[in-house]
Amino acid sequence: DIQLDRLGQTHLWDHIGFLLTAIAVYQICSNAEKWRSRASWALILMPLVTAVLLIIWFADRQLGDLIIYQILKLPEGQTFLGLDGRFAGLAANPAYMQDMCLVSSGFIWIGMIYFFKERRILGLSLFGVFLAANVLMLVWTGTRSGMLALPIMLLLGGYIVASRRSITQVIGVLGILALLFLVVQSVMPDTNRTSLVVRADEDDRTPMWFYYLTLAPSLPFGAGLNYEETYMPPLEAAYLHGRLPPHNEFLCAWMVAGLPGEFVFLLIMITTHLWSYRGLRYSISLGHNDMSNMIRAGALLSSAGFWIDHIFLETPLNSIHFAVLLGLILSDKNFGIQDRVERVSCG
H or E segment to which residue 240 belongs: helix 236-241
Q: What is the pLDDT of residue 170?
A: 65
pTM summary value? 0.82
- Determine the Cα–Cα distance for residues 137 and 148; give it in Å rounded to an integer: 14
- Determine the Cα–Cα distance for residues 229 and 38; give it in Å rounded to an integer: 40
- Determine the Cα–Cα distance for residues 89 and 336; give it in Å rounded to an integer: 38
Q: Identify whether the C-beta of residue 329 lies closer than 8 Å to the C-beta of residue 299.
A: yes
* Dihedral of alpha carbons 340, 290, 179, 54, sign: negative
* Dihedral of alpha carbons 223, 225, 226, 229, sign: positive
Q: What is the pLDDT of residue 235?
A: 62
- Determine the Cα–Cα distance for residues 268 and 329; give it in Å rounded to an integer: 12
Q: Identify whether the C-beta of residue 137 lies closer than 8 Å to the C-beta of residue 50.
A: yes
- Determine the Cα–Cα distance for residues 91 and 105; give it in Å rounded to an integer: 18
Task: Residue 318: count other Cβ atoms within 10 Å of its Cβ.
Answer: 19
Q: What is the pLDDT of residue 346?
A: 41
For residue 126, the one-letter residue type is L
How far is the first Cα of the chain from the last one, in angstroms, to the nearest whole number? 58
- Determine the Cα–Cα distance for residues 237 and 229; give it in Å rounded to an integer: 14
* Dihedral of alpha carbons 163, 164, 170, 171, sign: negative
Name the phi and psi angles at 250, rounded to 5: -75, -40
Q: Where would I find the H helices in 249-290?
A: 249-285
pLDDT per residue rounded down to tens, the chain (347 residues): 445 666 777 778 888 888 899 999 988 988 778 888 899 999 999 888 888 888 887 788 788 778 877 777 766 556 676 656 677 777 777 888 888 899 999 999 988 888 887 788 898 888 888 888 888 888 888 788 888 888 888 888 877 776 565 666 667 767 777 777 777 767 666 666 666 666 666 667 788 888 888 888 899 998 888 887 777 766 655 544 556 678 888 888 898 889 998 999 888 888 888 888 887 877 777 666 677 788 888 998 998 888 888 887 776 777 888 889 988 888 875 444 444 444 443 44
- Determine the Cα–Cα distance for residues 327 and 30; give it in Å rounded to an integer: 9
- Determine the Cα–Cα distance for residues 249 and 222; give it in Å rounded to an integer: 14
Task: Residue 1: count other Cβ atoms within 10 Å of its Cβ.
Answer: 5
Task: Residue 333: count other Cβ atoms within 10 Å of its Cβ.
Answer: 15
Name the phi and psi angles at 80, rounded to 5: -60, -45
- Determine the Cα–Cα distance for residues 203 and 182; give it in Å rounded to an integer: 25
List of residues 6+ apart from 73 with CB closer than 8 A? none
- Determine the Cα–Cα distance for residues 295 and 291; give it in Å rounded to an integer: 6
- Determine the Cα–Cα distance for residues 339 and 258; give it in Å rounded to an integer: 38
Neighbouring C-alpha atoms within 13 Å toward the C-beta of 300: 26
Q: What is the pLDDT of residue 347?
A: 40
Q: What is the pLDDT of residue 116?
A: 81
- Determine the Cα–Cα distance for residues 190 and 294; give it in Å rounded to an integer: 38
Q: What is the pLDDT of residue 289?
A: 62
Coil, strand, or helix at residue 328? helix
